[in-house]
Amino acid sequence: MYKSLFTDVLKGKEGSRPPVWYMRQAGRVLPDYRKLRERHSFQEMMEQPELAADVTLMPVAVLGVDASILFNDILSIPVSMGMELVWTDHGPQFLKPLCHEDDIHHLFHPDLSKLNHVYETLDIVKKRGNAPTIGFCGAPLTTLCYMLQGTSAKHDFPDAKKFFYARPQETCYLIDMLTDICIEYALKQIEHGIDAFQLFDTHAGIVPLELYEASFLPAVKKIAAAVRSHNVPFIYFPKGIGPGLSLMTPEVCDFVSIDWQTSLSRAREMVHQDVGLQGNIDPFLLFSSKEKIESTMRKDYVPFFQNHNKWIVNLGHGVMADTPIENLLFLTEWIKDETNWW
Ligand code: 1CP
């Protein structure tokens, strides 16, 4: 395990300042990534380990963040299961969403060797990198949203939700299958040297809490247990879960990533005290002035750290591609240079 402020804080030690990294820091906003994207498709960039390793390491070099995150996508798992995916200008699109299939059982022979480039990427990152690396995958609920609906174009994935209610047994089958695959994939990433694992559940808030708790949370707990049995810290991002934060106990995760909708102090009241928090700066704050960014940090975040140091700075969702990069740099430097954290 790579020793650093980030891994120390994840393991419960006190730091002199909070560590910082950003969701979607690899790619999108980085000028060098944009240049590479003029010559390569996104899929190509993920599948070429040298390129994927370059992009993984870029944010540490360019932004100065305390951890890198593997450059890949949560939709690689359904692709490894044989689902055809195209990357359009409006985002990802599965050509045959599962909600239109009469029988889903015959569809899957997951071939995880299709993800070998991920492990090769991690090997290169480990050799060349000088910061801890976060591995990840999508949680079963969020991955299923895309597999069933095909795209995120329709707000709240209505076909996916209809499927959950109309075909509960097949939903169970899909959740169990995805859980097993997530575990196998996470353990492989661990074998290839990741220092922490984040499970992205961006669409955790699209179903009622009762359904989430009964059907989807047990899968998260299983994945968490498998990852943590290898002594790798587990971060969970249940975006939009709201009052469901009270379900975030040490059985679920070491750290929970808080979305921008919920204030950190409210989240702190709901989340079990032994679970750390990550987040939750509004990605849109980065479109304001440096003065506003600094005053928001001083008003909302420094006092939080003074009371709760089990905290990793991040955004409340991903960095947007058109974010002024100078503001992202300013925020990162401000966090690292600020001397009044205590
Ligand atoms: O250059 C390009 O056009 C590709 C843009 C891009 C990139 C760089 C996509 C398309 N995905 C990624 C990488 C990616 N995606 C990472 C790697 C690390 C990083 O960028 O920091 C990670 C962790 C993800 C995770 C991901 N992909 C999530 C969960 C987190 C979140 O942001 O909500 C989801 C929902 C996806 C699906 C996805 N991938 C890409 C798009 C445009 C989308 C869908 C967005 C949507 O549903 O609206």
User: How many beta carbons lie within 10 A of that of residue 95, not counting itself?
Assistant: 9
pLDDT of residue 279: 97
**Band (184; pLDDT cuts 50, 70, 90):** very high
pLDDT of residue 154: 87
**Band (104; pLDDT cuts 50, 70, 90):** confident
Q: Once rounded to an integer, what is the mean pLDDT over residues 21-48?
A: 96
Q: What distance lies between CA 268 and its chain's CA centroid?
A: 20
Residue 229 lies in a domain: yes
Residue 288 lies in a domain: yes
Residue 237 lies in a domain: yes
Q: Report d(CA 272, CA 44) in Å as an integer.
A: 41
Q: What is the pTM of this model?
A: 0.97
2 vs 332: which has the higher pLDDT:
332
pLDDT of residue 132: 98
Residues marked active site are found at: 24, 28, 37, 73, 146
Q: What DSSP letter does each residue of 41-75 carry, written as one string?
A: -HHHHHHSHHHHHHHHHHHHHHT--S-EE-S--TT
- Distance (angstroms) between ligand 1 centre and the Cα of 73 equals 6
* Predicted confidence (pLDDT) at residue 92 exceeds the cutoff of 70: yes
pLDDT of residue 112: 83
Residue 195 lies in a domain: yes
Residue 236 lies in a domain: yes
* Predicted confidence (pLDDT) at residue 271 exceeds the cutoff of 90: yes
pLDDT of residue 228: 98
| Residue 142 CA, closest ligand 1 atom number | 35
Q: What distance lies between CA 13 and its chain's CA centroid?
A: 23
Give me the CATH number covering residue 65: 3.20.20.210
Which residue puts its alpha carbon closest to atom 4 of ligand 1? Answer: 42
Residue 228 lies in a domain: yes
Residue 69 lies in a domain: yes
* Predicted confidence (pLDDT) at residue 107 exceeds the cutoff of 70: no
Which residue puts its alpha carbon closest to atom 8 of ligand 1? Answer: 27
Residue 342 lies in a domain: no
The total number of structural domains that make up the chain: 1
Give which of 231, 288, 221, 257 is closest to 24, Cα–Cα: 257
Q: Residues near ligand 1 with C-beta < 6 Å? A: 23-28, 37, 42, 69, 71-75, 91-92, 136, 152, 200, 202, 318
Question: In this structure, what are the phi and psi dihedrals at residue 196, rounded to the nearest 5 degrees?
Answer: -155, 160
**Band (221; pLDDT cuts 50, 70, 90):** very high
Q: How many residues does the chain have?
A: 342
Which residue puts its alpha carbon closest to atom 41 of ligand 1? Answer: 91
- Distance (angstroms) between ligand 1 centre and the Cα of 294 equals 28
For the chain, the straight-line distance linking the first and the last C-alpha, in angstroms and rounded, comes to 28
| Residue 45 CA, closest ligand 1 atom number | 1
Which residue puts its alpha carbon closest to atom 33 of ligand 1? Answer: 202
| Residue 25 CA, closest ligand 1 atom number | 21
- Distance (angstroms) between ligand 1 centre and the Cα of 285 equals 20
pLDDT of residue 56: 98
Q: Once rounded to an integer, what is the mean pLDDT over residues 19-33?
A: 96
Among the residue ranges 35-39, 237-241, 338-342, the one predicted with the least confidence is 338-342
Q: What is the pLDDT of residues 166-182, one digit of tens each?
A: 999 999 999 999 999 99
pLDDT of residue 143: 98
**Band (1; pLDDT cuts 50, 70, 90):** low
Range of the domain at 292: 2-337
Query: Which percentage of the chain shows pLDDT scores above 70?
Result: 99
Mutate to test the pocket of ligand 1, among 21, 24, 83 (most ligand atoms within 8 A of CB): 24
- For residue 309, give every residue at least 6 positions away whose Cβ sits within 8 Å of its Cβ, in sequence order, or none: 9, 14, 15, 18
| Residue 24 CA, closest ligand 1 atom number | 21
Which residue puts its alpha carbon closest to atom 14 of ligand 1? Answer: 73
